[in-house]
Chain A
Amino acid sequence: MLLKITVSGNPGGQRNAAPAPSGWKVDGFRIKKTVSDPIQQGSPVKAAVIVFPGSNCDRDVAVALEASMGSKPHMVWHRDTELPAVDLIVVPGGFSYGDYLRCGAMAAHSPIMREVKARADKGARVLGICNGFQIITEAGLLPGVLMRNAQLRFACKDVFLKVENDRTDFCRYYRSGDVVRFPIAHAEGNYFVEPHTFREMEDNGQIAFRYCDADGKVAPEFNPNGSLGNVAGVYNSKFNVLGLMPHPERLAEDLLGGSDGKLMFDSLVEALS
């Protein structure tokens, strides 16, 4: 693909906003494609949403995906053992199996997750949101663990996030340093990873988002759950897997209060088509 701006080479490492790559222009804090991809033009993106018995954001994310993709994603039941041919797999929010054990711990061992891992290993993009982040982390797709919120309560509210790395398929419509507003709704979003791993992840550009204030200031008082380094979302080392606690699909339409989240789905569609 001519215009692919992420993947191979060194996608991370740069913490400051990079200039728009050729073929792109910066419009406000959004980056717009100016030339369409001559090879992949019009090829529809195919996505799948994994549905566990206690998933409850599966419909929400399907709505957001459809708005960006122009077609409905496949809804794949957790007991299925095969995935259709897709470019993007979303593991949505919810309470997969009631979360009576550690959140996501049981779902991580469901039949479909073996297939999700195999696809991720082959380069498919995987997006885990909220409980989906917990599940793919428990399944070993991402380093670290999600613990109970520091204040021990469920928290549902809008938060501000600082975009840490725009050179990925998930965030190409954002710029590093942008402040975006997404809602959170979780009781266990307190991300932790061993300090040396964390340093490596920071150096690699694997931190996707950090909690901040409206002006982009990252400080403990803006951290809603006590996560290490105010982390709200992380990538794997190949940048094809993103897990985040906030819900981009919940602010993907102005009528619902904002559309910062839509840019993530638009980014993926742009990157994958």
Chain B
Amino acid sequence: MSQITPEVIAQHGIKPDEYKLILEIMGREPNLTELGIFSVMWSEHCSYKSSKKWLKTLPTTAPWVICGPGENAGIIDIGDNDAIVFKMESHNHPSFIEPYQGAATGVGGILRDVFTMGARPIANMNALRFGDPSNPKTRHLVAGVVAGIGGYGNCVGVPTVGGETNFHSSYNGNNLVNAMTVGLAAKDNIFYSAAAGVGNHVVYFGSKTGRDGIHGATMASAEFDENSEEKRPTVQVGDPFTEKLLIEACLELMATDVIVAIQDMGAAGLTSSSFEMASKGGLGVELDLDAVPMREQGMSAYEIMLSESQERMLMILKPGKEDIAKAIMDKWELDFAVIGTLTDTGRMVLKRHGEIVADLPIDPLAQAAPEYDRPWVAPAKQPVIKAEDVEAQCPAEALKKLVACPDLASKRWIYEQYDHMVMGDTVQRPGGDAAVVRIHGSDKAVAITTDCTPRYCQADPHEGGRQAVAEAYRNLSATGALPLAVTDNLNFGNPEKPEIMGQIVEAIKGMGEACRDLDFPVVSGNVSLYNETQGTAIQPTPAIGAVGLLADVNKHMTLAFKQTGSNIVLLGETKGWLGASLYLREICGREEGAPPPVALHRERRKGELVRQMIQDGQLLACHDVSDGGLLVAVAEMSMASAGRVGAALEAPSTLPLHAWCFGEDQGRYVLEVSDDDLVSVLEAAEAREVNARVIGKTGGHVISVGGRAVAVDELKAVNEGWLPAFMGGEMSGH
């Protein structure tokens, strides 16, 4: 057994004061296996030690919430015994080292979190952030990440229905890959992870355990030196075919009545799954590591416990049900092994070759992990930038540049590599405000979106946190869906720096306010910190994944203009806010200013109004106004329309034209309304005290404003052209 030196402790990422706590808990010096287990269980990733204090402040309950944070995923009730299970999770660091496998296993992991709870995955989403396109590594990362997400999701047969992709130099050294899965379960057949029943068997199934992804594999230790084999890379390798088998086997097993508790082996593999299950059940566990199905010979207890081999599950079976479970695993050709027993000792006892190789108390590791109240400073407020102080450009020219800029350019090159139609229920495909996926065999549907505007969060994390939630709320409302709940994926830099910790604290506060005011609880989430390279942190990116419900899928609304001669109505107030806008960044080359504020009480009223109008059949099209402002929103509605229907807009004289066109004032929607419905729409808005005015008419094939015009086809060409050209120019048009 190797000696536990200060170097070995440091290599495990354990701080000296944490090691003191370990000695106290153990009452002796831990061996290497035990130290490795402490190390992963107390890692930021597993313990949320820097963020927990603040995550606790988020609202997590509502009458429709079945299960909030703390389980594998969150669960909400959508009626008729249908429950939606969903979560978003990051795989940032692995995707930067090995983009294909890093992204692929990110998808695999989040899928398992969802089907572990008894849900069939029905949709995947992803929120991606890459470095500046001019950075030589960016193209390689985009290609690998997209191929990895597609390679995994396409094979398992779950549609990847949408997401978002941004580019910014702050991500040059740390791209973000946040993957979300939405699943459908029967409300009366949900599975949790709390172990129960002393004497019940602990069962392992799925793939075999190998040496991939071992946390400490890079560490030079005496124990590893004894092995002659080369160290394996620390990024795991995914096998989507096995995942597909695992989904079907799990769901088949869950239709029988044999499972007490079940949990996937995600980060920290067998360690975290067994500890969490035992800890939640207040029990102990004894594992015989010799029984673990292994891919290679001579694996040590350390390696077995810390392996992050993919596509593995752990469950507690009801007594005497092994034969039923094994028959199902045999059908799907998956490994199955009884590897241990639940005990009442509250301790984790691991045996290898008949000897006890680790003996640890469970609770202090799992539930009593260190929690830090890290020092933080609130970020300095940015000045409000007046429209008069921002250069005015020809709106047609600026629009053309904006729709072709990396953040707004069509992401078709990406989503066409994802099978977004398999399962036969994708009602709204990628490219709209939110994806709409029908609940199979019913007239209900869920709308799904992911949102975050990192440049707002950089300028003001508090306001940016509010905005991310509000935009998700708007995107769901714009399809007609009632927003129900969110999952959050908080991506930040090093929390040990007070200014970064300040970003985390303020963003969570902002998100919490918005979630509370919009009745939009957080039911699951994930935190990814230390996204820094050479001292430079990413823009704060609290990505929000959100789910809403459409009671009647036939009434779902899309953003495409439908016809000529309709009225274009703008809901919400326009003051021409250009601070932290895309116009300011892309047209004027300035990244500065306070971001637009979000008025939450009005936000809710507007959402209700829009949903009511969609429900009443008063709208032909609906789109929320976000990046790039009003003119970009209108252009997107034209570009999406089958007939490339244009728009003639009349700008008010009370504002500078560029501010009216490109200001990013929050809480706005553009509606297409026929003459017949116009009066009732305007009256409905007035009744709810929502500002609504006709700003133009649909028609022609150009977008015109202030005496300038640009053809929709021309916009479409540059909008569709950028990404394929960037990625190599060989993408076929469609």
Contact = CB atoms under 8 A, between A and B. Distances in A.
Given A157-B734, A255-B553, A53 B422 contact: no
**A55, A99, A255 interface centre (most CB from chain B within 10 Å):** A255
A156 B417 contact: yes
B627 interface: no
B241 A54 contact: yes
Interface in B115-133: none
A60 interface: yes
A270 B671 CA distance: 44
Contacts of A55: 157
B245 to A, nearest CB: 6
A156 B420 contact: yes
B426 A256 contact: yes
A6 interface: no
Given A54-B241, A256-B426, A183 B438 contact: no
B154 A53 contact: no
Contacts of A255: 427, 438, 553-554
Interface stretch (B51-59, B295-303, B523-531, B725-733): B725-733
B642 to A, nearest CB: 11
A36 interface: no
A97 interface: yes
Interface stretch (A113-121, A134-142, A147-155, A192-200): A147-155
A193 B462 CA distance: 61
A249 B426 CA distance: 13
A59 interface: yes
Contacts of A249: 424
B362 interface: no
B358 interface: no
A141 B550 CA distance: 45
A221 B733 contact: yes
B332 A53 contact: yes
Contact of B422 (A54, A57, A63, A155): A57
Given A98-B239, A99-B155, A59 B424 contact: yes
A54 B419 contact: no
B427 A185 contact: no
B421 A95 contact: no
B312 interface: no
B418 A156 contact: yes
A250 interface: yes
Contacts of A159: 734
Interface in B147-162: 147, 150-151, 154-157
B658 interface: no
Contact of B421 (A53, A154, A185, A224): A185
Given A98-B241, A155-B417, A256-B427, A57 B157 contact: yes
A259 to B, nearest CB: 13
A62 to B, nearest CB: 10
A71 to B, nearest CB: 16
Nearest to B420: A156
Contact of A63 (B332, B424, B553): B424
B591 interface: no
A143 interface: no
Contacts of B425: 256
B697 interface: no
A56 B244 contact: yes
Contacts of A100: 241
Nearest to B413: A153
Nearest to A155: B416
Contact of A156 (B156, B416, B731): B416
Nearest to A79: B331
Interface string B136-175: 0000000000010011001111000000000000000000
A60 B424 contact: yes
Nearest to B157: A56
B240 interface: yes
A147 B594 CA distance: 53
A185 B423 CA distance: 12
Contacts of A187: 154
5 contacts: A53-B333, A54-B241, A56-B157, A156-B154, A157-B734
Given A98-B240, A154-B419, A155-B416, A54 B155 contact: yes
Contact of A97 (B241, B332, B417, B553): B241
A250 B554 CA distance: 18
Contacts of B147: 153-154
Contacts of A158: 734
A183 to B, nearest CB: 5
B512 to A, nearest CB: 37
B423 A60 contact: yes
Contacts, number: 94
A94 interface: yes
Interface string A75-101: 000000000000000000111011110
Given A56-B157, A94-B157, A151 B732 contact: yes
Interface residues of B, number: 38
Contacts of B554: 255
Nearest to B438: A255
Contact of A154 (B150, B248, B423, B426): B150
Contacts of B420: 156
Contact of A60 (B240, B417, B422, B732): B422
B139 to A, nearest CB: 14
A57 B151 CA distance: 16
Interface centre among B154, B248, B417, B424 (most CB of A within 10 A): B424
Given A54-B244, A56-B156, A156-B416, A151 B730 contact: yes
Interface string B432-458: 000000100000000000000000000
Which 6 A-B pairs give the minimum distances between C-beta atoms?
A56-B157, A98-B241, A60-B424, A185-B419, A95-B155, A156-B419
Nearest to A247: B421
A154 B155 CA distance: 11
Contacts of B239: 98
Interface in A93-136: 93-95, 97-100
Contacts of A156: 154, 415-421
A255 to B, nearest CB: 6
Contacts of B733: 221
Contact of A224 (B151, B422, B732): B732
Nearest to B156: A56
A59 B427 CA distance: 17
Contacts of B241: 53-54, 95, 97-100
A185 B418 CA distance: 8
A157 B240 contact: no
Contacts of A98: 155, 239-242, 244
Contacts of A60: 422-424
Given A95-B241, A154-B417, A256-B424, A221 B732 contact: yes
Contacts of A224: 732
A9 B154 CA distance: 42
Contacts of A63: 424
Contacts of B151: 154
Interface string A58-78: 011001100000000000000
B410 to A, nearest CB: 12
Contacts of B156: 56
Contacts of B731: 151
Interface in B479-514: none
Contacts of B157: 54-57, 94-95
A33 B333 CA distance: 48
A239 B572 CA distance: 60
A185 to B, nearest CB: 4
A185 B554 CA distance: 25
Contact of A250 (B240, B421, B730): B421
A157 to B, nearest CB: 5
Given A63-B424, A159-B734, A257-B429, 20 more contacts: A53-B332, A54-B241, A56-B157, A60-B423, A60-B424, A64-B424, A95-B157, A95-B241, A97-B241, A98-B242, A99-B241, A151-B731, A153-B147, A154-B418, A155-B417, A156-B415, A156-B416, A185-B421, A255-B554, A256-B425
